[in-house]
Homo-oligomer: A and B are copies of this chain.
Amino acid sequence: MEKFRQFVVFLGAAALLGSLSVVIVVIWVLHWRGGLAWDYGLLEFNWHPVLSTTGLIFINGFGIIIYRLPWTWNIRKPLMKYIHAGMNIVTFVLMVISLLAVFDFHNSKKIPNMYSLHSWIGLAAVIMHALQLLLGLCTFLLPCTPTFIRTFYMSFHVGVGLFIFGMSVTAAEMGITEKLIFSLRSGSNTTLPYSQSPPEAILVNTLGVFILLFGGCILWIAIHPEWKRPPEHLKENVGGEDASILNKTNVSAEIGNENIPEGIERLRHLHFEDVGQRATF
């Protein structure tokens, strides 16, 4: 695998930044925003940032690059498809609850729904994610779907998936901005307004920076064709001995490019024509 160290650095950074984002959003709502409940009030609203960060950012992000992990390349593609689909189903379920929480809160407080740019882009991302999931299941997991339809739909699936992820990160940043402005107003119960940078504002701004960096790491991994999972037919063609080399990719690639076994060398000499034909280009 080319530039294996760079891949590991970005993957490690994504894992760290993504996990920290989920932890920070939980600390935020528990420590500063009164906790979590299903009370049609502010505590129910708090499920919205927690579930959105966990679902549409963290799980969706790792769902995008799941095929890129060399440690999964000896797992058969159908199982990987189920894992990818499963992560997106979990994301969808979390987002349904996340939206219920915010609509419940708005309705009980007589706050209009869907007026902000955050709500426009956020809801569009969730609807597009649901359609993408449905079309993906029908196209790639229904055995009766013809191959030409799968090939035709693939680059669309990849492009729209990356765009939905970008929309999700953008919506998260706007959501953080909105929530800090609304909850840290001058004259509210807090000691300092947002413009005076209280500790809550510093922590949640940092959450926004982490989410953006996480998004950058995921997209950087996703757009590198040299980090793609080798196609199934090539894996099958290289036969038993070379196939076993795949299991050692992580070990061999850590040593450096010069020492990568010939089988892997052959696998990485893919043609540009392959670009856009597989799960993540």
User: Which A residues form the contact surface with B (CB < 8 A)?
Assistant: 2, 111-112, 115-118, 120-121, 159, 163, 166-167, 169-170, 173-174, 176-178, 180-182, 194-197, 201, 204-205, 208-209, 212, 215-216, 219-220, 223-226, 268-272, 275
From the candidates B208, B219, B223, B275, name the one contacting A121 in the complex (CB within 8 A).
Answer: B208
Among residues of B, the one whose C-beta sits closest to the C-beta of A207 is B117
Among the interface residues A116, A121, A176, which one has the most CB atoms of the partner chain B within 10 A?
Answer: A116
A226 to chain B, nearest CB (A): 5
Tell whether, in the assembled complex, residue A170 and residue B169 are in contact, meaning their CB atoms are under 8 Å apart. yes
Known A226-B275, A275-B225; contact A194-B115, beta-carbon cutoff 8 A:
yes
B residues less than 8 Å from A174 (CB atoms): 173-174, 177
8 A–B contacts from the bound complex (CB under 8 Å): A115-B197, A117-B180, A166-B166, A170-B173, A170-B212, A174-B177, A181-B181, A268-B272
A188 to B176, CA, bound (A): 24
Known contacts A112-B196, A167-B212, then 16 further A-B pairs from the complex at CB < 8 Å, ordered by chain A residue: A115-B194, A115-B196, A115-B197, A116-B180, A116-B194, A117-B173, A117-B180, A117-B204, A118-B177, A121-B173, A121-B209, A166-B212, A166-B216, A177-B177, A177-B178, A223-B223
